Amino acid sequence: MRKIGASYFTGKCEFSVWAPEKDQMYLHLESPVEQIFEMKKTSDGYFITTLSNIQAGSRYRFAPNGSEKFPDPASHYQPEGVHGPSEVVDHNEFKWNNTSWSGLPLKDLIFYEIHVGTFSSEGTFEAMIPLLDELAETGINAIEIMPVSQFPGNRNWGYDGVFPYAVQNSYGGPQKFKEFVDAAHSKGIAVFLDVVFNHIGPEGNYFERFGPYFTNTYCTPWGNAINFDGEWSDGVREYFANSILHWYENYHLDGLRVDAVHMMFDNGAVHFWELVNEKLDKLRQKLGRSFYLIAESDLNSPRVTKSPVSGGWGFNVQWLDDFHHSLYVLLDKEGQERYEDFGQMEQLAKAYTDGFVHSGEYVKFRKRKHGSSSAGVSGDHFVVFNQNHDQVGNRVGGERLSMLVDFDRQKLAAAAILLSPYLPMLFMGEEFAADTPFFYFVSHSEEELIKMVVEGRRKEFANYKWEFDPPNPQEEETFEKSKLNWAQRKSGKHLVMLNWHKKLISIRHTHPVLQNFYKNDIRVTLFGEKGFVLHRKSSDEQHELICIFNLGSERESIVVPRRKTHWKKILDSRDPEWLEEESTLASNFPDSIFGGEVIYINELSVTVYEAADA
């Protein structure tokens, strides 16, 4: 890949910056000794200079046309924040302990979304390392970290990042991030990073001082779109495509989750994601490690995960929001106020058997038809979840699912995703029913921008007719309240919920039926008001499971699916060990049932049976 920014090689450093419409560019070394160097322009718009006798840790800026100086757009580290100088990083200096790590199969992953700043009291990469053992013990083997590219101040969700190659200084910078990735791999945990290529944050955004990174041909909720297909777009495409390779090669990441890909616009003959996949294929062969791309997409299009050879974008996986919406509105009576187009049991059944619920139907929220069918797309191309940073943080009170529904419904939600034919993802703390909120927070330094952010959040929530304003995202207290309370994990209902997740994850990892993602081996039968039977087979058809869910508040009866022999119970949410407290509502399910038999299903329960001759 083309090296941009500061590429360090043992005492020598090549500085490169793309600025095709500038006539001159000057490199200002600011430490350890102040020096100025004029850079040479190439035919494709890059300014380059190579210096000897320079050390990692040296700080620098660029001055387009010799005027005001700015940080490097491809900076790998901003130790003094978004407005300060960039720092030279030696990526060869770090000694990886787990050089034999080659990654994990995609189908085996249990994702866990983390925000570094609120995951621990310290809010750093280093403070996360001691917690890896607890995650591994739970069965979690894939951490998905919310964006860590340098953002303004020391607290932010990460979607206001302005240096897509740099690691946030307040989290620990490049060195500590590598130490965290290395430690995770030593525990058998893959590490994914959330990245943002659809916009650049407002504060510290100096991109336009260098080149035409943006276009007014398209508009996003955050302003002009990134220029992926207009004049001078070659340099922009290279910049973002090579940042993906940067994270893969220099940080040994296992993949990226790409934010809002539907807000990346490219009408060129060779789509941006086709370019990315071509580059990635070459680097995968060189490095010998797996690397996956996960999309957040609002399109409900199977094109996202199709191969570029077939006209697709080449993502390995995409988030399945329809699954969340279909399930959530059936668990929380107030859910339909947020998702007016959901609420039918048939929609949840379709989410299990097909994937996209909206696959060409008219959608009131969008005031048009939306989506296309994903019925033939294998389940391991989708990630499902009960909550994530958006679902929690975009509520006025930052409420997690544990703050919205009762204990039994939380258990049902966990079973619904972990027994599904999709890749499951938990939001940090979900596994122990954490009840600390997760708010939206920022730490900007520009007063006018702060006012815009605060007022923007207030107007956004006014649409939901909330009776109180959201907390001020700029106040540090909002951030502090969002930190996890790890002490909860050790006792009471929180420990019960943790053990429930461990049990479900263990079954998922070991039962052959739950290793099959083929849609034709899945059936869903509805019963009663809010009941369904999820019937799944192994790929060799030698094993079967029936997962009996009753999301309703009334007992229901079903006829057991017929088998040559009988069904044996392997999990029951009403067994005493899974109850929030001792109750007379403990299970009365038999340990064994027979095909054609009528059984009664407890309210708010899930029971799993396997074919006894399996």
Q: Is the CB of residue 423 less than 8 Å from the CB of residue 104?
A: no
* Residue corresponding to tokens 């043992």: 10
pLDDT in tens, 30-88: 999 999 999 999 999 999 999 998 999 999 999 999 989 999 999 999 999 999 999 99
Minimal CA–CA distance to 25: which of 52, 53, 4, 46? 46
Instruction: Name all domains of the chain by residue range, CATH numbers in brackets.
Output: 5-87 (2.60.40.10), 520-611 (2.60.40.1180)
Q: Is the CB of residue 335 less than 8 Å from the CB of residue 347?
A: no
Q: Is 203 a catalytic residue?
A: no
- For residue 452 the two structure tokens come to 């815009």
Residue 308 corresponds to which amino acid?
P
Minimal CA–CA distance to 417: which of 344, 507, 540? 507
Phi/psi of residue 107, each to 5°?
A: -65, -20
User: Which residues are CB-neighbours of 491 under 8 A, at least 6 positions away?
Assistant: none
- Among the listed residues 229, 296, 572, 610, the single catalytic one is 296
d(CA 141, CA 506): 12
d(CA 122, CA 115): 12
Residue 191 corresponds to which amino acid?
V
Residue 580 has pLDDT above 70, yes or no: yes
Q: Is the CB of residue 142 less than 8 Å from the CB of residue 426?
A: no
User: Which residues are CB-neighbours of 256 under 8 A, at least 6 positions away?
Assistant: 192, 193, 194, 195, 244, 247, 292, 293, 294
The DSSP call for residue 91 is: T
Q: What is the pTM of this model?
A: 0.97
Alpha-carbon 210 to chain mean position = 31
Alpha-carbon 427 to chain mean position = 9
Q: Is the CB of residue 561 less than 8 Å from the CB of residue 596?
A: no
* Band of pLDDT at residue 586, cut at 50, 70 and 90: low
Cross-strand partners of 473? none
pLDDT in tens, 131-152: 999 999 999 999 999 999 999 9
Q: Is 469 a catalytic residue?
A: no
pLDDT in tens, 191-220: 999 999 999 999 999 999 999 999 999 989
In the three-class reduction of DSSP (H, G, I as helix; E, B as strand; rest coil), residue 562 is classed as: coil
Residue ranges at the known binding site for substrate: 257-262, 321-325, 389-394
Phi/psi of residue 194, each to 5°?
A: -80, 130
Q: Is the CB of residue 403 less than 8 Å from the CB of residue 437?
A: yes
3-state helix, strand, coil in the chain (%, to 5): 30, 25, 45
pLDDT of residue 462: 66
Alpha-carbon 323 to chain mean position = 16
State the angle between helix axes of 173-186 and 233-251 in degrees (0 to 180), rounded to the nearest 10. 50
d(CA 609, CA 568): 5
Convert 206-220 to b/e letters by CB count within 10 Å (16 or more is b).
bbebbbbbbbeebeb
* Residue corresponding to tokens 């000057």: 26
Indicate the average pLDDT of the chain. Answer: 95
Least confident window among 226-240, 279-293, 492-506, 593-607: 593-607
* Residue corresponding to tokens 């790409």: 258
d(CA 115, CA 157): 7
Q: Is the CB of residue 6 less than 8 Å from the CB of residue 49?
A: no
Pairing of strands 361-363, 255-258: unpaired
pLDDT of residue 11: 85
Residue ranges at the known binding site: 257-262, 321-325, 389-394
- Among the listed residues 203, 259, 430, 544, the single catalytic one is 259
| 31, 35, 86, 182, 399 from 60: Cα distances, Å | 7, 9, 5, 29, 43
pLDDT of residue 563: 78
- For residue 536 the two structure tokens come to 């799944």
